[in-house]
Amino acid sequence: MCPWGSAVEDPAYYALLSGGARYYAHLVAMLAEDGESDLGYAKVGGLYVPGTADELDATERRARARAAEAPEAGSIERVSAADARKLFPPLRPDQPGLFISGGARVDGRRVAAAMQRAAAKRGARLVTGSAELMMRGGRVAGVVVNGETIEADTVVVAAGAWAPKLLEPAGVPLGVAPQRGQIIHLRSPGTDTAHWPILMPLSSHYLLAFEDSRVVVGASRETGAGFDYRFTAAGVAEVLNAALDVASVFARSPMIYALNLAARPASTISLSVTVSARAGCRWVPTAARCSRTWRLARRRHSISHPTPSNNNTHRQH
């Protein structure tokens, strides 16, 4: 989470990104009150590494202008190539950058699990299964999950790329479609990556370090792939080459630990999509996704294929 230097120009989209970054500190504090601290969240800062000096200048101007209204962005510092490598050691030696101290990383799966546990502590009931809207008198009156009827005054749909199908009974057209994203996890055993900043070229790719000697490289953006949960040579090559372009040392040391694939919800009409309340149902834009992970076994170099965390249904309502 480090939107302040991004090249996003759409005001509504940037407001969504910056609002999320601002809110996370409050969310983390609220979860802590419920005893939930396993989030994978850390303020490690963000390091923008544009390809040219002009792009770096433009990134700094954007970041400083936006930070004037966003104290959560923290300090902003132009760093030399040598100092950038101190922050992110695998970075290529000739690459300067812009460091923003307020950038933070988070593990979405761990946060989601923590929110479910916190909700349960406060009386929520988690029902897992395939959900359908229940209509009554032209309005949404609840949901049916695995044959169980659950009535509600308002239904919040946070089904990501599966939302259009779910909303059909309510007559709510939604310009959202799945966009396949292929992600690579690199691991360098014994390397302390816990405090490395988020590395952000001015593209759709990123390098995100976690505390277990792991760097996540993402992501391809494959519109039109639908719910196709297969990895492709082109997608994996795109992501790996994006990493090697800014951190060529990765070609020698880390091993590919896992491959991850996600179906993210992408707007088919504009960057930002808003849907007003209608018929007792509210849709919220989320990064909900169906993901599938392949972990590479250390010795046999085979690929284990665990059950995906979701399938082509609407789960965890």
In a domain, 5, yes or no: no
Residue 214 structural domain:
11-109+177-265
Query: Per-residue confidence of the chain (317 residues) as pLDDT tens digits?
Result: 999 999 998 898 899 999 999 999 999 999 999 999 999 899 999 999 998 999 999 999 999 999 999 999 999 999 999 999 999 999 999 999 999 999 999 898 899 999 999 999 999 999 999 999 999 998 899 999 999 999 999 898 888 899 999 999 888 888 889 999 999 999 988 899 999 999 999 787 999 999 999 999 988 998 889 998 889 999 999 999 999 999 988 888 778 888 888 888 888 765 544 444 444 555 555 544 445 555 554 433 333 333 333 433 333 33
Q: Return d(Cα 296, Cα 302) in angstroms, integer.
A: 6
Which pTM was predicted? 0.81
User: What is residue 109's three-state secondary structure?
Assistant: helix
In a domain, 96, yes or no: yes
Q: How many domains does the chain have?
A: 1
| Termini Cα distance of the chain | 26
Number of Cβ within 10 Å of residue 140's Cβ equals: 23
Q: Return d(Cα 6, Cα 198) in angstroms, integer.
A: 13
In a domain, 212, yes or no: yes
Q: Which helix (DSSP H) or strand (DSSP E) does residue 180 occupy?
A: strand 176-187
In a domain, 121, yes or no: no
The pLDDT score that the predictor gives to residue 284 is 53
71-85, pLDDT tens digit by residue?
A: 999 999 999 999 999
In a domain, 315, yes or no: no
Q: Return d(Cα 217, Cα 199) in angstroms, integer.
A: 10
* Whole-Å CA distances, 40 to 28, 269, 294: 11, 33, 20
User: What is residue 144's three-state secondary structure?
Assistant: strand
In a domain, 226, yes or no: yes
248-269, pLDDT tens digit by residue?
A: 888 887 788 888 888 888 887 6
CATH number for 225: 3.30.9.10
> Max alpha carbon distance in the chain (Å)?
66
In a domain, 87, yes or no: yes
- CA torsion sign, 295 to 298 to 301 to 306? negative
Residue 95: which residues within 8 A CB-CB, separation 6 or more? Answer: 49, 81, 84, 85, 246
Tokens of 42: 């850390």
